[in-house]
Structure 1
Amino acid sequence: MWSTSTPARVWVVGTHGGSGETTLAKLLGGTATDHRWPSISPQPPVVLVARTHAAGLAAAQLAMRAWAAAETPHVRLIGLVLIADAPGKLPKPLADRAEILRGGVPHMWQIPWVDAYRLDVDPTNPPRQVRKVLNELDTVIATTH
């Protein structure tokens, strides 16, 4: 478990390696947890993150089940962010699986493929579609404190 006495605006928990945990934490001004649930008091706001490939969606589902079964430290789960694993639309089987996951978390957002993020993440100038997701996340984070 992640253990710290330092409060964070939001904790970003990657559900698998390569999930985009560090990228999302940088964009949100949050703290990446190295794929571990934070275990601090007071209850920290947490966002899960996964890629949209089959393995990523399966890992997200496992993390969501652990949270729902109270097998994790007590956290305020804000939701799940799915980050595109490739440009373009999700194939139907993956889109269907992502839609099923939506029902297991308070909120779910999808960030499209951003080719520039392969080189570096500039949190000061995200593309419009990413900015929209970040604004929605900011609103939910602000109302959960």
Structure 2
Amino acid sequence: MLGGADIGRRWPDPAMGEPGQVLLVARTHDLGIRAASQALNVLRTEEQPAGVQLLAVVLVADAPGPLPRVLGRRVRVLRSGAEVHRVPWMPAWRLGEEADQLPRAVRALARRISAPAGRAGRPR
């Protein structure tokens, strides 16, 4: 949707010509939030390949409705270490279909990552 490439569960390697700017995408279930937290820890300890820069963490709803309180607390912890964008549940996406209109959160994220350096706005 935003013109990036899914490289799976690894960091890109700018030395190999891969883009260094990263959107870390995870589902909002327990394993997804845990994986995002572990990836942020790699960044915190600077174990990622040289040249990798995190733009934001994108949390995609794993189910309709609000998050359980325990997962909401873990999202707040993620926000303490990175800019986090939440994408709501989209039934069409579950079926591999396109949505009639992108959610507001996705449109905001598109504006955020296309903003010139230094003008990206404040973290959410």
- The TM-score with structure 2 as length reference comes to 0.81
Q: What corresponds to 1:15 in structure 2?
A: none
After superposition, the Cα gap between the structure-2 partners of 1:55 and 1:37, relative to the gap in structure 1 and judged at 3 Å, is same
**Could you tell me whether the CA contact under 8 Å between 1:111 and 1:133 is conserved in 2?**
no
**Could you tell me whether the CA contact under 8 Å between 2:86 and 2:105 is conserved in 1?**
no
Q: Any unmatched runs of 5+ in structure 2?
A: 119-124
After superposition, the Cα gap between the structure-2 partners of 1:45 and 1:124, relative to the gap in structure 1 and judged at 3 Å, is farther
In 2, the alpha carbon distance for the partners of 1:143 and 1:99 equals 26
Q: Any unmatched runs of 5+ in structure 1?
A: 1-26
Q: CA deviation at 1:127?
A: 3.3
Q: CA deviation at 1:138?
A: 3.0
Q: The residue matched to 2:72 in structure 1 has which SS?
A: helix
Q: What corresponds to 1:6 in structure 2?
A: none
Q: The residue matched to 1:32 in structure 2 has which SS?
A: coil
After superposition, the Cα gap between the structure-2 partners of 1:37 and 1:124, relative to the gap in structure 1 and judged at 3 Å, is farther
Q: CA deviation at 1:67?
A: 1.3
- Of 44, 61, 65, 2:20 maps to 44
In 2, the alpha carbon distance for the partners of 1:36 and 1:91 equals 28
Q: Percent identity?
A: 38
Q: The residue matched to 2:71 in structure 1 has which SS?
A: helix
In 1, the alpha carbon distance for the partners of 2:44 and 2:99 equals 31
- Of 60, 70, 73, 2:46 maps to 70
Q: What corresponds to 1:85 in structure 2?
A: 62
How many residue pairs end up in the alignment? Answer: 115
Residues 39-61 of structure 1 deviation map (CA, whole Å, 9 limit, x = unaligned): 11476111111111111111111
In 2, the alpha carbon distance for the partners of 1:80 and 1:129 equals 12
Please, what is the CA RMSD of the aligned residues?
2.2
After superposition, the Cα gap between the structure-2 partners of 1:137 and 1:89, relative to the gap in structure 1 and judged at 3 Å, is farther
After superposition, the Cα gap between the structure-2 partners of 1:136 and 1:121, relative to the gap in structure 1 and judged at 3 Å, is farther
Q: The residue matched to 2:65 in structure 1 has which SS?
A: coil
- The TM-score with structure 1 as length reference comes to 0.70
